[in-house]
Amino acid sequence: MPIDVSAAVIANRPLSADYNVLALAAPAIATATAPGQFVMVKAGRGHDPLLRRPFSVFEVLRDASGAPTGISILSKRIGASTSLIYDAQPGDELACLGPLGRPFAIVEPPAEAWMIAGGVGLAPFATLAEALHARGVRTTLFYGARRAEELFYLDFFRRLNVELVLTTEDGSAGERGRIVAPLDRRLADRPASAPVTIYACGPEGMLAAAAQTAAKHGRPCQVSVERIMGCGLGGCYSCVIPMRGDDGRFHHVRSCIAGPVLMGDEIKWD
Ligand SMILES: Cc1cc2nc3c(=O)[nH]c(=O)nc-3n(C[C@H](O)[C@H](O)[C@H](O)COP(=O)(O)OP(=O)(O)OC[C@H]3O[C@@H](n4cnc5c(N)ncnc54)[C@H](O)[C@@H]3O)c2cc1C
Ligand code: FES
């Protein structure tokens, strides 16, 4: 069952002019969260914005004994709520409902995990990388951003022995271009007998390209989709996405409860 709390802001760490990490005191949500799940956050007190907004759980925060104390969210400022989240102050209280949605299915060795992140699509991969590390799964992060200054938390992933493959659109770090290009090359070089599972999160065009590239090489691909979500609980149908059903036909499913993690080869990409 999701938990609804009034979560105090513990810290707000700006990463750039648009990105920040907001730490929230929410021990019960932190304890229940699995990698890939999300929370619905109401950023303001009044009626504007009226609705909560969905955010992946970025980190599970722990005290010195390892007990969960809260969560953080990695937010990119694009509108009303994310602007309020960017400006939030320690001590502010935000309504926070979660954990919600279906998490990633986590592989075991000898399978390798290749995480594909575009921009703020990095958010679900910090907790996933920790879970993979705990299982001893060899993990690679393919991470694309517009420019070098928008590649965040690289040392966090390095500390978990995650191999980094970086791209930027302006060529200021890593390879110039889109992140699916090195994914395609590496999959082509990979023997079919070596199991790899792809995990992807980012803009929908990137998700479609990652899913299609994985399918081309016969690899399973779990994607975390980011449709607009009004409730996060299955009640409003704002988040539907066409998926192939057992009958081979496409049906609209509510990505907040069937997902956000879905199999990429079952989605009908536009
Ligand atoms: C499951 C899930 C997890 C998410 N995790 C994160 C996260 O970890 N960090 C993060 O920064 N964002 C995340 N998002 C996206 C985030 O919810 C939106 O950026 C946020 O709702 C925008 O709210 P706003 O009030 O600032 O913008 P609004 O004023 O509501 O919208 C500004 C503009 O952005 C568009 N927009 C709004 N929501 C989305 C969306 N989901 N996808 C594409 N365009 C959108 C609107 O149509 C509008 O044009 C996630 C979305 C989903 C569904
Ligand atoms: S967000 Fe309301 S049904 Fe999915």
Instruction: Say how many Å lie between the CA of residue 96 and the centre of ligand 1.
Output: 16
Look at residue 256 and give its three-state secondary structure. helix
Instruction: Say how many Å lie between the CA of residue 46 and the centre of ligand 2.
Output: 22
The neighbour count for residue 39, using CB atoms within 10 Å, is: 30
Instruction: Say how many Å lie between the CA of residue 118 and the centre of ligand 1.
Output: 14
Residue 130 sits at the vertex; the CA angle it makes with 54 and 38, to the nearest 5 degrees, is 10
Low-confidence stretches of the chain (pLDDT < 50) are none
Instruction: Say how many Å lie between the CA of residue 61 and the centre of ligand 2.
Output: 27
pLDDT at 44: 84
60/55 Cα distance (integer angstroms): 13
Q: How many helices and strands, by DSSP H and E, does the chain display? A: 7, 16
38, 52, 236: residue to mutate for ligand 2 pocket, most atoms within 8 A of CB:
236
Q: Nearest C-alpha to atom 3 of ligand 2 is from which residue?
A: 234
pLDDT at 192: 87
Give strand pairing partners of 9: 24
Cβ 260 under 6 angstroms from ligand 1:
yes
Tokens of 249: 């036909």
Q: Nearest C-alpha to atom 19 of ligand 1 is from which residue?
A: 78
Cβ 254 under 6 angstroms from ligand 2:
yes
152 touches 128 (CB < 8 A): no
66/37 Cα distance (integer angstroms): 20
**Residue where the block lists tokens 């928008």:** 150
Q: What's the per-residue H, E or C state across 174-225?
A: CEECCCHHHHHHHHHHCCCCCCEEEEEECCHHHHHHHHHHHHHCCCCEEEEC
pLDDT at 49: 86
240: Cα separation from own chain's centroid: 18
Tokens of 109: 């060795």
Q: 158-209 pLDDT, tens per residue?
A: 999 999 999 999 999 999 999 999 999 999 999 989 999 999 999 999 999 9
Among the bound ligands, name the one nearest to the CA of residue 234. 2
**Which value, in Å, is the radius of gyration of the alpha carbons in the chain?**
18
35/66 Cα distance (integer angstroms): 17
Tokens of 233: 């609980």
Give strand pairing partners of 56: 38
Cβ 50 under 6 angstroms from ligand 1:
no
189: Cα separation from own chain's centroid: 27
